Amino acid sequence: MTAKKESIEERIDRLHAGRIIDLHFDLPMDLYQKRERKNVLETEFLPELESGHIGVVGVAIYIEDRYLPETGLRVALDQIARLYAEVDACPRFAICKNYHEIQKARDAEKIALLITMEGAEPLGTDLNLLRAFYELGLRSIGLTHARRNAAGDGGVFASSGSSRDGLSGFGRDIVRECEVLGMIIDLAHINPAGFKDILSITTRPPIVSHTNVRLYYDIERNISDDQIKMIGEGRGVIGINSVLVSAKKEESTLDRYVDHIEHVANLIGIDGVGIGFDFFEFIYSQWPESAKKELAEKLTTPQFIPDLRNHSHAGSLTRKLIERGFSDEEIEKILRRNWLRIFQEWL
Ligand SMILES: [Zn+2]
């Protein structure tokens, strides 16, 4: 028998056979925005998810400023309702609430959706609502986005200047309740003081679903080497974000994305790194210039990586990881196995 050398395409296909997990995607707000339309998930998202071999997606409930505070809860519920209705209309998807359901969906070659929340605003100050959202399928929560809320403060998009305050009593209660319910605590966006507070309470592996390392983009919304090590000590996982790899357009490249992966792996090992693409261009491109300007003034201008702009591009990342010398086992851990371990331990 002659051994035929595997081509790079064949190697990518083999590595993608178990599918890819992306733990942060702003899908529900877009489905809500388009709530008068049907089959948005199937027509606008399924083709890219399938061609990128995506197997699990963390879909984040997020409430835009214009709905707060009055209608935050209602819009969050509406986003969940749209998600269920859209999944009902397309059998290629399944909303999953535990590890077993995720594995069942993967076995059936469905795309598993894990409902997450970015910012606890929909809860107001009522801890009871966390239980209600749990019953609706919420399985991961980040306490804040960039703004302050009843749970705590977000990290600013600057190298200093975040609030020095840690979590509020309400924020601490949410963390404790998440441990009881089995709802993954996500440390993405939280300010440095809140980050420490969460880690002082949690006993299970912490995650940062979508972030970048401050070494390459020094803002408090991202995470420092000390913070990366704290996640490593808790056997947690950090998902690397594709829209904040650098402040500079010319440095926002696939190689820089892999630099972020490599930096985390160098500090805490390959078991601590995963993917949280945070693909955002599909929303950004729908905005009027005024909204883009407002985002630039309030936070930052996102710099999209030319060959990693949506889920159909996931193969470019795998190709780059191969080129950069990552082993099959390392690539599989980055693409899915580390997140699967988190699901197994929490859900
Ligand atoms: Zn975010």
Distance 344 CA to ligand 1 centre (A): 24
Contact 76, 116 (CB under 8 A): no
pLDDT at 1: 55
Residue 177 and residue 81: Cα distance in Å, rounded?
24
pLDDT in tens, 240-251: 999 999 999 999
Q: How confident is the model at residue 270 (pLDDT cuts 50, 70, 90)?
A: very high
In DSSP terms, 57 is beta-bridged to 22, 113
Distance 144 CA to ligand 1 centre (A): 9
Mean pLDDT on 108-121: 98
Distance 211 CA to ligand 1 centre (A): 8
Distance 60 CA to ligand 1 centre (A): 9
Distance 10 CA to ligand 1 centre (A): 34
Look at 301 and 264; give whichever has higher pLDDT: 264
Nearest CA to 48 among 4, 107, 99, 111?
111
Note if the bond before 205 is cis, omega within 30 degrees: no
Mean pLDDT on 155-173: 97
pLDDT at 4: 81
pLDDT in tens, 7-28: 999 999 999 999 999 999 999 9
Distance 5 CA to ligand 1 centre (A): 41
By DSSP bridging, strand 54-61 and strand 20-25 are parallel
Distance 148 CA to ligand 1 centre (A): 14
Percent of the chain with pLDDT over 70: 99
Mean pLDDT across the chain, nearest whole number?
A: 97
Distance 141 CA to ligand 1 centre (A): 12
pLDDT at 331 over 90: yes
pLDDT at 3 over 90: no
pLDDT at 2 over 80: no
Distance 302 CA to ligand 1 centre (A): 11
pLDDT in tens, 63-106: 999 999 999 999 999 999 999 999 999 999 999 999 999 999 99
Distance 3 CA to ligand 1 centre (A): 46
